[in-house]
Copies of this chain bind each other. A is one copy, B any other.
Amino acid sequence: MSAEAVSGARQSTLRTANLGLVLRTVCAAGQPLSRADVATATGTTRATAARLADELVAGGLLDESEPSAPNGPGRPGIPLVPGASIAALGLQVDAGLLAARVLDLRGRVVAERVEDGDFVGSDPASTLQRLGALTVGLLAERPDLRLVGAGLALPGIVDAATGVLLRAPNLGWSDLRPADLLDLPLTPALGNEADLAARTVAESAPGRPGPHRDFLYLSGQIGVGGAAVLAGQVLSGTSGWAGEMGHVCVDPDGPACRCGSTGCLEQYAGRRALLSAAGLPRDAGPGELARRVEAGDPAARRAIDTAARALGIALAGVINVLDIPTVVLGGHLGELAPFLRPALQDHLRRRVLSGGWRPPTIEAAAALPAAGATGAALRALGDVVADPARWLG
């Protein structure tokens, strides 16, 4: 048995630890594995691997798929994949949308509802009741799934332990317990939207590493959220309130922010600020702004340059403090990345102390509406991958 299979486990919890090891191995692989492959990858004996896999298959956490044609002598191994009947619910309320999404253990979206709207200053009770009703309809579509958890992504500061949303400036919400208003059969765990969206970059499916493991994520919404991710883990800080990059001060003499400070990053790079600076109506999309920049519109160009400068100042500070020199831009910032990147790179090269010999890289996240909802479901599924024994008989 391998070091990982034994270490950290007292005799009594060896089964628990080893079930987790086998499930994580299959989830991380991103391709079907036979029981023999699992034995090799985990350093266990074939008999042990087979016994553990059987237990996970019986509990629905692994599925047996069709064997491919044999490519050698002997009976081909039955391919194991994460269980398709295990799923989690991700919810999101944002200034511009409501979303409910169900992901299975393979990371596939198996059902979703996304509704656009304007929820700035909305009534929390009616908005959350609408999300609840939409979710009940969604879950009714797939009664065959076993829901193992749920999460709710919100654009603000939450107290995960008590389930209280403390403050979401761009919704105008504060001090409320969303679970009380949602009226759902299961209580979603609260999370910050950007923290959860960042998870979709760190993890491409439950338990499977994504394209980056160390990065700063900026979530372009009405405002700007963020998350710092080190070794695949979102830095959460003392109370889970880390990542508020939208409220890093870029210019102390800048415009007042609704948070009470002045010159916050989101006053320059938030979607509403960008559109307004470009002379566009607030319901215009980043696509329209992009078209205007391409057409040589000077106001649109100035808006982009101002945003790039503000992003450069704020991100340089964060990179100087955290030494995480990869930036992933999400939301409208991701859509506008081709226009923002050249100036942003110049600012970072100049303002990051190590920028001269290791210039930070800037990437756009995959376009994904309501990435926070996906991240919320990934987090719930991650709990299963971390400790599958709890979900077995």
Report the minimum CB–CB distance from A161 to chain B (whole Å).
14
Assess whether B354 is in contact with A321, with CB atoms less than 8 Å apart: no
Which of A226, A238, A253 has its CB near the most chain B CB atoms (within 10 A)?
Answer: A238
Assess whether A245 is in contact with B320, with CB atoms less than 8 Å apart: yes
A253 to B235, CA, bound (A): 31
Q: Is the interface of A mostly helix, strand, loop or mixed?
A: loop
Q: Does A340 contact B (CB under 8 A)?
A: no
Report the minimum CB–CB distance from A252 to chain B (whole Å).
5
Contacts of A3 on B, CB cut-off 8 Å? Answer: 10
Q: Please give the count of copies of this chain that the complex contains.
A: 2
Q: A236-B323, A237-B324, A317-B318 are in contact. List 12 more A-B contacts (CB 8 A).
A: A7-B8, A157-B354, A235-B322, A239-B323, A242-B322, A247-B320, A248-B321, A249-B313, A249-B317, A250-B252, A251-B251, A260-B356
Contacts of A243 on B, CB cut-off 8 Å? Answer: 321, 323
A interface list, Cβ under 8 A from B: 3, 6-10, 157, 166-167, 214, 226, 228, 230, 235-245, 247-253, 259-261, 309, 313-314, 316-318, 320-325, 350-351, 353-354, 356-358
Contacts of A358 on B, CB cut-off 8 Å? Answer: 239
Assess whether B323 is in contact with A321, with CB atoms less than 8 Å apart: no
Closest to A213 in B: B238
Pull 7 A–B residue pairs with CB atoms less than 8 Å apart, ordered by A.
Answer: A7-B8, A244-B323, A244-B353, A247-B320, A249-B351, A252-B313, A317-B317
Contacts of A252 on B, CB cut-off 8 Å? Answer: 250-251, 309, 313
Closest to A243 in B: B321
